[in-house]
Amino acid sequence: MKNTNNKSDAALLRKRALELLKKEPLKTVSHLSEAETSMMIHEFEVHQVELELQNEELLLARAEIQDYIEKYTELYDFAPSGYFTLSRDGEIIELNLSGANMLCKERLHLKESQFGFFVSEETLPTFNLFMDKIFFTNNKETCEVTLSINGNANIDVYLCGIATENGEECIINAVDITERKHAEHKLSNSEIRYRRVFETAKDGILILDA
């Protein structure tokens, strides 16, 4: 349908041009005076220089854009945290190298797969709620989930995500917090042991005083 409209527009434009030429034919070079010919040649030369300058500007702009793209790609791919672009249903549309390394698979093999497939069964409800909030509120949302890698190795990650402008995708930043969680767990266990020792010692003192 679009091609048909283009052909119709071109035919109408050609028809109008033929009608204008019948009313006022264009001057040929033979009908031009020497001054008019010189002026026309000068205008052509100026126009050619203008085109060359515009072409140089376009080439410079293209080189700058390419440079920005390369810098962005390097920053995106080699960022210390994982970046994922997910669809509304959680399908991985794009990801960086850190994200692929986090999931222990090649980036090409991860595209079009479900991110939720890597979330542990215990934390999957948390992830699903996280995704619902992202698209419902259009605000930045966060959560902590556990990723199950290859069915045995688990890593804890902090997710921060927000929907894109079109509302059909979301960008998620994933930070590995496994070491922090282990440290918190050790600290919690130490506090529990300390409390037990303290309570035992306290009880012992009370018995001795009795």
Q: In what order do the strands lie in the sheet with 153-163?
A: 92-95, 82-87, 169-176, 153-163, 141-149
Do 163 and 68 sit in the same domain of this protein? no
Q: Give the DSSP H/E element, type plus range, for residue 147.
A: strand 141-149
**Residue 39 included in any domain:** no
Based on the domain organization, do 156 and 181 belong to the same domain?
yes
133 and 161 housed in the same domain? yes
Q: Is residue 98 a contact partner of residue 81, using CB atoms and an 8 Å limit?
A: yes
For residues 61 and 125, state if they share a domain: no
How many residues would you count in the chain? 210
pLDDT over 90 for what percent of the chain? 37
**150 backbone φψ class: left, alpha, beta (φ>0; ψ -120 to 50):** left
The residue written with tokens 């948390």 in the block is: 126
Domain that holds residue 69: 47-77
Give the chain's domain count: 2
Condensed to tens digits (0 to 9), the pLDDT of residues 113-127 reads: 999 999 999 999 999
pTM of the model: 0.58
- pLDDT tens, residue by residue, 156-175: 999 999 999 888 999 999 99
Q: Are residues 105 and 160 in the same domain?
A: yes
Does residue 205 fall inside a structural domain? no
